[in-house]
Structures are given as C-alpha cells and as structure tokens.
Amino acid sequence: MNNDTLIPLIGVVTDIRQDTPDVKTFRVNALEGGKVFEHMPGQCAMLSIPGVGEGMFSITSSPTNKEFMEFSIKKCGCLTTWLHAMDVGQQITIRGPYGNYFPVDTELKGKDLLFIAGGIGLAPLRSVINYVRDKRDDYGDVQIVYGSRSKDDLVDYKEIIDEWTADPNIEVDLTIDNPQEGWDGHVGFVPNYVKELNPSTNKTVLVCGPPIMIKFTLAGLKELGFTETQVYTTMELRMKCGVGKCGRCNIGDKYVCKDGPVFRFDQLDALPDEY
C-alpha cells in the first residue's frame, strides 16, 4: 500500500534552545541524519508524542537550511508542555509538510519586504526571513519590525542580534511593550511602532502575531496607505488531519491546513470572520 500521510515518520530532536521563558526551539533531524522532508517557507508539520497528542506547528527554519528543521514552540497546552519537557535525543513523530507557503518565488520576488511580527508570531516569518537572506539578490529592501512583551520574550534574540542586525542589507526594528532595565531600544506596541516608522507603501508586508496585534497592525497599515492586497499573514486553527479532510480548520470554504495557512488580507476579507 502507498504511504499514507496520516502515518507519521520519526524525527529526532538533536538540539533544544530555550529562547524565552516559555518558548523553546527544537532542532529535528531524520533518524539517518538530514531533514525528514523538504518544505517551503510558511509551511507546517504535524508533530506528536504518541499517547500525548499531535499538533500542527510552523516550520521555523528556512528551506535553504539543508541540514535540519527547526520549530519554535510556545508552552501553551498539553502537548507543548510535554515537548518542552523533552531532552535532546528524544524521538517524535512528524508528518508534512502541510499547507501553502509565502509566495517567495512569485508575488514576493523582487519586492521590498516588510516583516511585522509579535511574540511567537516570529516563528513562521523566521523561515521566510532566512530564506530571503539566503537569496538576497532576489528581493528588494528588507525591513523587520518585531516586538514582544519584554526583552526576554523576543524569540531568537541571539540570531536577531548576531545575524540580522549585523546584516547591512536588512533593517531590524525591535520594540518591547514596557520599559525594562537593560533595554535602550524602542518601547511600545508593534502597531504603533509600525505607524511611527512610517514605512514606504510600496513594500509588501508579511505579518504574524496575536490576533489583536494583527488587527491593529492592519488598521495602522491602512492608515499609512497600504492596501489589503499588499499584506500577507498566516493563520492557526485547530487541526487534526492536516490535509483538509477532518473538517475543523475551515474559514468559510477554505481549510487553513490545505488552502492556508498563508492568506493575503483581501482573501481573508472575502471569508467569514470566524477565526
């Protein structure tokens, strides 16, 4: 019988990084080394610990990374608590990749890009950011606006500081919600910061974060003159199968697992407000 996508593969956790007090980044390899499968930026995978549960997670690493996949996961429910308790060497089950991806080869190509992320919302965008950095000539200006509750809650802070801010070809604007000792950067919510930064309206925007942040960011972008056809986001709803059959992650006639998770805001506008 042919492989069935519901029967998972095995992955090994080869590295665990504590990113923030409640976010860890897990590096996953195939049993024989290398990646379990290839993916595109924005796609997701179903991870599970048998007996605990299965959940859909954004693949945080870039497809240009040929050695491993990474997942930045926030401790939130039963499965993620278990994942956070893992040690290096632990095997997990993995299946995917699922869903569509940011149109890095088509609509985004040659464009000036503005990434806007809040909290754990950086996870799916990190894949695109590193993809773009590795294929830098294919894209125009790159600006990243990233905010979190505090300095400690900035996911991948080390990579941001060591690599992104050090990269002369990209602009990184960080912000935290409240003043904090040892932080001399910007303080304030992401949507307001975006407005202050007043980015050029010829940029294509990729935004991800808590629903409330996305809502205000989009409103702010519209005030600045952006249109909904310029803004992409990625969605998360409860999923079980990952392939548009189990019937629960739909927004209107679209399944987030199959037709998403990446949507352009004009596409979301044509769908019911049920997410």
Q: How far is CA 117 from CA 21, 107, 114, in A?
A: 18, 20, 10
Which of 32, 66, 87, 168 is close enough to bind other proteins by CB under 8 A? 87
- Check binding of 184 to other proteins (CB under 8 A): no
CB 90 within 8 A of CB 114: no
Closest separation in Å from C-beta 28 to other proteins: 13
CB 100 within 8 A of CB 260: yes
Beta strands in the chain (DSSP E): 9-20, 23-30, 44-49, 53-58, 69-74, 91-98, 113-118, 142-148, 170-176, 186-187, 204-208, 231-234, 250-251, 254-255, 262-264
Which span (52-60, 107-115, 125-133, 160-168) binds other proteins, by CB under 8 A? 52-60
Q: Which residues, 230 to 259, sit near other proteins by CB under 8 A?
A: 236-238, 240-241, 243, 245-253
Which span (74-82, 150-158, 171-179, 191-199) binds other proteins, by CB under 8 A? 74-82
Residue identified by tokens 């809040």 is 118
Nearest one of 158, 27, 155, 9 to 88, comparing CA atoms: 27
Closest separation in Å from C-beta 77 to other proteins: 3
Which of 14, 29, 93, 165 is close enough to bind other proteins by CB under 8 A? 93
Q: Which residues, 3 to 22, sit near other proteins by CB under 8 A?
A: 4-10
Residues that bind other proteins (CB under 8 A): 1-2, 4-10, 50-54, 76-78, 80, 87, 89-93, 236-238, 240-241, 243, 245-253, 270-272, 274-275
